[in-house]
Every structure is written in C-alpha cells, then in structure tokens.
C-alpha cells in the first residue's frame, strides 16, 4: 500500500518505525534522489509532497516521501484537500507517501475518510503517565523491538524512571543494549543494571504531585530538581502537575456534591479511565477543595515566574514552599 498514516505523541517509537520502513524500501545508493523529507506546516511543501509521490523512483528500490506535520487529517485547507483527492489515485506502487503527525486524525474530515480507505494506518500513542501497567508494557515492547530481555523488576524500574519521555526511553535502551552486548551473563537485564545506567533518577511529575499533596515540599523540590537535571522542560512539569491537581479537585468537588458514580465523575473530570477514580479517591482522602485550590494558585505563580524568565529551580522552590504554608489544615488526616 503506497500511502501510510503515522500518528501519535510517541515520537521516538514513530520515528523508529519510520526509519525501519525507509531502510527497507529505499536503496542507499539512490537515497539522495528517491528519499524526500518535507514539512507539512508549509502548504507549498505539502503540495510538493503530493507531486513527488506521483513520480516513480529512479534506479533501484522505491521512492519514499515523508511529510512531517501532515495537515491532511487535521485542519486541511480546501485547496490542499482538492490536490490530495486528485493525487491519491496516481501514486504508483513503487512510491510510498508517509503522512506523519502528532495528533489523532480528525475522523470528521473528508480527507481523513478518503485516506483511511487507501492508507495503511499506524498509531504511536503514549500511555497516560498514571497508567503504570501501560508504561511497563511500553518499555517491554520497546525493549523487545531492540532484541533486549528485561527482568520484570528492571522493566518496572525503567518505566518509573522514564515516565512518558519516549526520546529518553530510546536513549536508555541504547545504553542497555550496549551493556547487554558487553556483559557475559547472557540473561535478562536486571533492575540493578537499570539503576546503574540511569543514574538513579527515578521520578516523574506524578511523584511530585503526590509529594505536594502529602505536604512534603522538600521531597517535591528534590523530585523536580531530578527532573530538571535530566532535561525535562520546566513548563511541561507545571502542565502535568496542573492536570493532576485539577483532576483531584474535580473528584473532590463532585464527591462533596454527593456524586458516587465513578463513570459520571470520570466524564465530568475529563478522565478517560473510570478505574483511575478509585485511586484518586484514596489520594485525596481527608483533603478539602480549599487545599487543592491553594496548590493550583501556587502552581500558577510558578508558571508566571518561569514565563518571566526566573530560574526554574528557584521558581519551583519558592512556589512549593509557599504552597506548603498556604494549605489550610497543615496536617493531613489519618
């Protein structure tokens, strides 16, 4: 099938799959002619991708046209949609057009419906950061793709350390592959090897939120510093924490109103998996909406400080320490 839809927020897995397909399809001797990489954010390049996809390859192998940030399944202009309609039937069998995007295709669009009748579609989505089992399965799947065998404790430790960072997962698995290649045991990679190679940075934004909720600001600050040291963007940490705290607040408010149906609570709070509500209820037991609102206010102060150019470490330290002081009822109920 000459047209391919690759989408999803797991950029590392998406790019790895794309690289494997290119390697299998394109003759290296003709790659400079038969491989094109274009950016769909530019309408001119998107139109050019459609033109090149209708051109048979030169020499041996297939022609591959890669359009990153493809607009055809998102907000596609009418002119581009018309060009797509005129082009898709003319793509020869020895030419492959890869339409790549971060977001899920909009099923309502005519272009999406048309492409799905013709294209091979693959999704590369990250599991939610709170989905521990999904994170572990993702780590194990990525390891298997590299021919690595992880002990169960090693997969769990790596999932905890990496979180949803697909690029870092790819990097750490490369280290583990080298480690496995130089080792002499021949057995599965152990949790001790994972700990040694990743430097003990086992944390995530969820762990930061848990520490804040438990009124342990020093622990929260240490966890944030660990995230910043491995290159996690400060504003991404803020966004993850804000989402986590808003979820707690919704659950707290709905339960206070007398709502007990977890499906109703999950829908109102925008939480995809209703089973998560049971975990969140335990987390916020004994907490009040006022405490959660105080955390959100301090988090907004952190975001404002970051956007004004403050040092990320200072912004989080100031915000978290003030958040601990501002929470009503300093001691959690047991």
Q: Mean pLDDT for each 10-residue chunk of the chain (334 residues)?
A: 88 88 94 94 93 92 94 90 90 94 90 92 79 79 84 81 71 78 64 69 70 88 85 83 87 87 81 76 87 89 92 89 58 40
CA distances from 211 to 1, 67, 214, 283, 311 (A): 50, 42, 5, 11, 22
H helix and E strand count, the chain: 16, 5
> Quick one: 182 and 263 in the same domain?
no
> Quick one: 82 and 156 in the same domain?
no
35-39 sheet: strands from edge to edge: 35-39, 63-68, 95-101, 3-7, 120-123
d(CA 16, CA 310): 36
In a domain, 99, yes or no: yes
Model pLDDT, residue 33: 93
In a domain, 249, yes or no: yes
Domain count, the chain: 3
> Quick one: 98 and 138 in the same domain?
no
> Quick one: 224 and 181 in the same domain?
no
Q: 3-class DSSP state for residue 8?
A: coil
- State which of 123, 155, 176 marks the end of a domain: 123
Model pLDDT, residue 34: 95
Model pLDDT, residue 330: 46
> Quick one: 166 and 76 in the same domain?
no
> Quick one: 185 and 231 in the same domain?
no
CATH number at residue 173: 1.10.8
> Quick one: 110 and 12 in the same domain?
yes
> Quick one: 111 and 23 in the same domain?
yes
Model pLDDT, residue 53: 93
Model pLDDT, residue 186: 60
56: nearest Cα among 36, 37, 84, 34 = 34
In a domain, 192, yes or no: yes
DSSP secondary-structure letter at 201? Answer: -
Q: 3-class DSSP state for residue 146?
A: coil
303: nearest Cα among 291, 316, 313 = 316
d(CA 304, CA 176): 39
d(CA 81, CA 231): 39
Model pLDDT, residue 181: 64
> Quick one: 215 and 317 in the same domain?
yes
Q: What is the dihedral of CA 84, 90, 93, 97, to 10 degrees?
A: -20
> Quick one: 234 and 270 in the same domain?
yes
CATH number at residue 25: 3.40.50.300
Neighbour-count burial of 48, counting CB atoms closer than 10 A to its CB (0-12 exposed, 13-18 middle, 19+ buried) = middle
Question: Are residues 296 and 242 in contact, defined by beta-carbon separation less than 8 angstroms?
Answer: yes
> Quick one: 192 and 252 in the same domain?
no
In a domain, 70, yes or no: yes
- State which of 123, 157, 181 marks the end of a domain: 123
Model pLDDT, residue 323: 58
Query: Tokens for 78?
Result: 């009418």
Model pLDDT, residue 194: 79
CATH number at residue 233: 1.20.272.10
Cα(first)–Cα(last) distance of the chain, in Å? 60
Domain ranges, residue 157:
132-198
- State which of 81, 106, 123 marks the end of a domain: 123
């Amino acid at each position: 099938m000459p047209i391919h839809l690759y989408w999803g927020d797991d950029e590392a897995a998406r790019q790895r799959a794309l690289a494997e397909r290119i390697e299998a399809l394109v003759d290296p001797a003709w790659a400079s002619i038969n491989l094109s990489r274009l950016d769909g954010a530019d309408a001119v390049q998107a139109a050019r991708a459609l033109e090149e996809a209708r051109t048979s390859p030169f020499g041996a192998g297939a022609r591959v046209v890669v359009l990153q940030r493809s607009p055809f399944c998102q907000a596609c202009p009418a002119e581009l949609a018309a060009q797509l309609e005129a082009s898709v039937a003319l793509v020869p069998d020895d030419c492959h057009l890869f339409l790549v995007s971060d977001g899920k295709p909009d099923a309502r669009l005519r272009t999406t419906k048309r492409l799905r009748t013709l294209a091979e579609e693959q999704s590369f989505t990250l599991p939610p950061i709170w989905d521990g089992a999904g994170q572990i399965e993702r780590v194990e799947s990525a390891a298997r793709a590299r021919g690595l065998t992880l002990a169960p404790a090693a997969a769990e430790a790596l999932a905890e350390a990496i979180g949803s960072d697909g690029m870092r997962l790819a990097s750490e698995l490369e280290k583990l592959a080298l480690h496995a290649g130089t080792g002499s045991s021949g057995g599965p990679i152990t949790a001790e090897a994972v700990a040694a190679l990743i430097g003990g940075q086992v944390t995530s934004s969820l762990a930061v939120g848990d520490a804040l909720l438990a009124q342990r600001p020093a622990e929260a600050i240490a966890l944030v510093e660990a995230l910043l040291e491995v290159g996690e963007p400060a504003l991404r940490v803020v966004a993850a924490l804000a989402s986590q705290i808003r979820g707690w607040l919704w659950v707290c408010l709905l339960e206070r109103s007398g709502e007990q149906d977890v499906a109703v609570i999950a829908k109102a709070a925008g939480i995809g998996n209703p089973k998560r509500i049971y975990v969140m209820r335990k987390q916020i037991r004994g907490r009040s909406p006022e405490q959660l609102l105080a955390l959100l206010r301090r988090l907004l102060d952190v975001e404002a400080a970051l956007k004004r150019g403050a040092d990320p470490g200072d912004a989080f330290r100031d915000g978290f320490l003030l958040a601990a002081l501002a929470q009503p009822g300093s001691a959690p109920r047991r």
